[in-house]
Every structure is written in structure tokens, then in C-alpha cells.
A = this chain, B = another copy of it.
Amino acid sequence: MTTNAAGPGREFRERELHLNLFIYPGGHHEAAWRHSSSDPDRLLDIRFYQDLARSAEAVTFDGVFFADGPALADNVRYASRFRLEPFTWLSAIAAATERTGLIGTASTTYSEPYNLARLFASLDHLSGGRAGWNIVTTGAPQAAQNFGLDAHPVHAERYERARDFLEAVTKLWDSWEDEALVADQRSGLFADTDRIHTVDHEGPLLKVRGPLNIPRSPQGRPVYVQAGSSEDGRAFAARYAEAIFTAHQTLRSGQDFYADIKKRAARLGRDPGQLLVLPGISPFIASTEAEARRLHEDFNELTQPEYSLELLHRLLGIRLTPQQLDGPVPRELIETQGERGNGSRFQLVLDIVEREQPTVRQLLHRLAGARGHRVFAGTPEQVADQIQQWYEQGAADGFNVMPPWLPGGFDLFADHVVPILRERGLFRSAYTGRTLREHYGLARPASRYAPQGAAVSVA
């Protein structure tokens, strides 16, 4: 286990804090694009994102992270909710950076294993081993109609396909052993075909013959990242994930999740240190706490109820009107049964309602920051304290930093919080590795087909 807290000094630490920059067009606060410090003209400009990744790399962040989903959000009228395609976007970012990891979201429900395996293998090659895959089953039901389906598969079905899919693509990434590419000009042997394997995957839902048509990549395969915290999601993460992106509002909730997921991994025979827990945090940073809170208020005042009420409907299944904003959240209308009740984000919002008894407007403002992820307003020291506390008290191995607006919200973190974390010996001052696996302290998996029997199966 690696959950023991280390001292605050600068001594050699085996355990290390991990930080990703989660990039959302414009920033994570739903009204970020409206703020005077934002430049909406740059939202489709790749250089904007390359600059952000370079900023993350300049402060030795483990990686940058892109969300995705194969459907248009319902409320694009009010917020920058289009979806830049992660593989293309991250490949162009790879070309502008050297070290920082590149984590892209891709759906097991709405892609083909062979195509996805090729995209990640190529991204891993061209980035020198910096690819990470945020594995999702896609929550947005409207995606189904973009793929010729009448209905979105239910939660359990999506996870069944996800497991099958993971097995298939992992075999594809293993299908070329490391030594398969020979390229001996003299003998004329380009590839040792004895070291290239059909995978003949036949799962409950997917059949894939293989082999992949790309040699094994620097990391063997992308780092497996996972973001679902439902019961199905936890079981999946404990088996497959190497990093978990998770949402928690309180230290206690983070600690419970952390302990649970590490225990589940151990029970499956995995080293829990090879599964990093990275909650989201969306920090409003200013030189005084009062100023930080005012900044947060400024953003909240730019929100539009039409948008926020739609988000609430998606999260809780209740349709409210602008006239209800200053009344209490009608707890009795929330539908806890059925498909929505399975989701971890549903439970998180329900917990806020029960714990804090907010008005509708207060709840909407709570959610406006980062769609249920933790928003924290404070001084750089206070933000660093929060990070240190969660890290040292068994709630996190690091964080997905979700700046409320970009690039300014990240610049404040980079310029003022990172130096404190370094001063406290919590965060690296220079990269020691080149690949995302190395940044995260994760082992490089061997191909299951490698002759030494050293293969590490994910199953």
C-alpha cells in the first residue's frame, strides 16, 4: 500500500502527488466563456489548447485531460458545450509538448475496438508514450440515435460491453510483442511474425481477430483511466483502472471512496499503489479568501437559469421553472429509482440536497462550477492545504485540476499553488520520466504473448 502519509519535509518520497489539468473549452464553470477574462474567439483554436498544455508542462503536471461524448449537449445555447474530438486534438497538442501526459476520453459503447486500439497506439507512438485513455460508457442517452440505435443501452449493458471491450483492446495492444519489429536491412526481415499474434477475442458481445496493424507502442498500451463511481463503475475500476477520476464534495466521501476502491483492487490481487485516485477540484484563487469568494460569485452571477435548470434535470430528473429558484429543492420529486439512480453523480447531488438543504438557486450555483465536482474558493495557501489534507488523509493520490476559466484560472494555480506544493515537498520540480506511466509511477505492462511468462494480464 502507498496510502501512508509522508512528512511535510523535502526528503525522498516514494509516494508522489499527481496533478492533471482537465481542459474544458473555456473552463469548467458553465459561465466561464461569458467572463471578461475569457476570449471565446479562441475556443476552436488549437493554439489555445497547445498553450494550455505547455503551461501545464511548464509546471510539471502529469498530464492534460479531455472529456468527450458522441452527441451534442442539449444546452449548447447557453454554454460552450461542443466537443472537440480528443484524438485529433491531443495529437496536435502532443506535437507542441514533450513530457506532459495526454489523456483522452473515448466510449466503449460507441466505438469499435479495432479502431480505438489503433487511435491510442498511434497517439502513444507519436507522443513518445504519453497516452492515457479515460474509459467511459457514455452517459448521454441522445448518443444512441447518432449510431442508429433506438435507445441508449442501460447501465448494466453498457458495463458488460465495456468489460468485453477492455479485454479485446488489451489483447490487440499486446498482439505485437516488443521485439516483433526487426527491420533488419541485411536479412530483409522486417517483422518477426512469430512475435505477432492474432488475438481471436470472442467475448459475450464482441469478436475481434487481430492482430493490430501497428507495432507495440512505448507504453505497451495507454494508461487506463476511469471516471465512473457507481457500483458497476467501481467494480470495473478495481479490475482495470490505473487512475480514477472521481467527484467528491467532502473529505469523508473522498476517504470512503479511496479506501473502498483500494480494497477492491487488493481483493482482485492487484497492487493498490498501481491504482491512483484523483478527485476533481475546481479552485477559485485570490489573495484573500473574501476576494476568492467574490470571484466565485462573479462567475455565478453570469450563469443562466435556463442552462442550469436543464443540467439539474439531467442530474436529478426534475424539471423546475425560473419561478422556483428561491424556493427549496423539492426533494419529493426526485426519482431515486431506475436508471438514473444507478449513477454516482446522482447520489452526489442528492447528498448535497440532503446535507445542505439549499434553495434551488444555491444548488444551481453549487453545480455551476464543475458539474458536481468540488469547487473551492480560497487563497493559494488554502488551496494547497486542501490538496495536502486530502492527499495525506487517505482521500487522494492527486487531483484533476479543473480551472473555472481558462487560461487565467489555471495560470493562478500554476503561479501560486504549485510553488507552495513544491515548497512542501509534495509535488515534483522536474520530470523524472518521459511517459505518462513513469509520471504516475505505473509499471509498463508486458505483452501477454511474450515468451518469458512475464505478461501482466489486466483480467
Report which A residues bind B (CB closer than 8 A).
Answer: 31, 33-36, 38, 40-41, 43-44, 46, 50, 69-73, 76-85, 87-89, 91-96, 110-112, 114-115, 118-119, 121-123, 125-126, 142, 145-148, 181, 183, 185, 188-193, 196, 206-215, 302, 304
Contacts and interface: CB of A to CB of B under 8 A. Distances in A.
18 contacts: A33-B185, A44-B125, A70-B114, A70-B118, A71-B213, A73-B213, A77-B193, A80-B190, A84-B122, A85-B121, A88-B91, A88-B122, A89-B122, A89-B126, A142-B209, A146-B208, A147-B208, A148-B206
B82 A91 contact: no
Contact of A41 (B118, B146, B183, B191): B183
Most buried by B among A72, A212, A304: A72
Contacts of A111: 112, 115
B88 A126 contact: yes
Given A72-B213, A76-B191, A191-B76, A92 B126 contact: yes
Nearest to A211: B72
B302 A188 contact: yes
Contacts of A148: 206-208
A78 B184 CA distance: 10
Contacts of A31: 188
Given A72-B196, A188-B34, A46 B77 contact: no
Contacts of A91: 87-89, 91-92, 95
A148 to B, nearest CB: 4
Contact of A145 (B70, B84, B188, B209): B209
Nearest to A188: B304
Nearest to A209: B145
Contacts of A84: 122, 125, 214
Given A94-B92, A213-B70, A78 B115 contact: no
Interchain residue pairs A-B with the least CB separation, the first 8: A95-B95, A145-B209, A91-B91, A40-B183, A85-B122, A46-B126, A72-B213, A148-B207
A209 B146 contact: yes
Given A77-B190, A126-B88, A70 B40 contact: no
A280 to B, nearest CB: 22
Contacts of A188: 31, 34, 78, 302, 304
Contacts of A33: 183, 185, 190
Contacts of A302: 188
Nearest to A91: B91
A76 B196 contact: yes
Contact of A34 (B38, B73, B185): B185
B79 A190 contact: yes
A178 to B, nearest CB: 13
A193 B119 contact: no
A95 B207 contact: no
Nearest to A36: B185
Contact of A213 (B69, B119, B208, B213): B69
Contacts of A76: 190-191, 193, 196
Contacts of A81: 190
Most buried by B among A94, A95, A190: A190
A114 B34 contact: no
A405 to B, nearest CB: 12
B87 A46 contact: no
Most buried by B among A85, A302, A304: A85
A279 to B, nearest CB: 27
Given A89-B91, A119-B88, A147 B38 contact: no
A98 to B, nearest CB: 12
A348 B190 CA distance: 28
Contacts of A38: 185
